[in-house]
Amino acid sequence: MQVENDNPEILLPVVQDSEIKTWLVNYVGDKLSPADGDVNVEMIVEVMASEFPELLLPIAEENFVRGYQQAAQDIKQWEVTYENDSHENDLEAQEEE
């Protein structure tokens, strides 16, 4: 799976600092057999997507919905700011007349 990454950290080796991380890294390492032996988050997502999509799909859907909600909030805030700036500019123009 070749995807353009905006976050290079997903390509860093996963630190096995808990029991579940150790198990998951070993599982993914056995499945993919990376040449350097390192397992990264991108590899884990790839294996999880193919073997446990019912876990990743709701996470992806939630992130998608939250992204659109944030965009809608940002647009509303921009509209309020734009309207306030326009109103202030109108008042300043009237005062200058």
Sequential pLDDT tens for the chain (97 residues): 455 658 899 999 999 999 999 999 999 999 999 999 999 999 999 999 999 999 999 999 999 999 999 999 999 999 888 887 776 666 566 666 6
What 3-state class would DSSP assign to 32? helix
Q: Give the span between the Cα atoms of 9 and 48, in whole angstroms.
A: 18
Q: Point out the domain boundary residue: 34, 51, 68.
A: 51
What 8-state DSSP symbol labels residue 14? P
Same-domain check for residues 13 and 35? yes
Domain of 92 in residue numbering reads as 54-97
Q: pTM higher than 0.85, yes or no?
A: no
Structural domain includes residue 1: no
Q: What's the angle, vertex CA 8, arms to CA 25 and CA 69, rounded to 5?
A: 100
Same-domain check for residues 73 and 41? no
Q: How many domains does the chain have?
A: 2
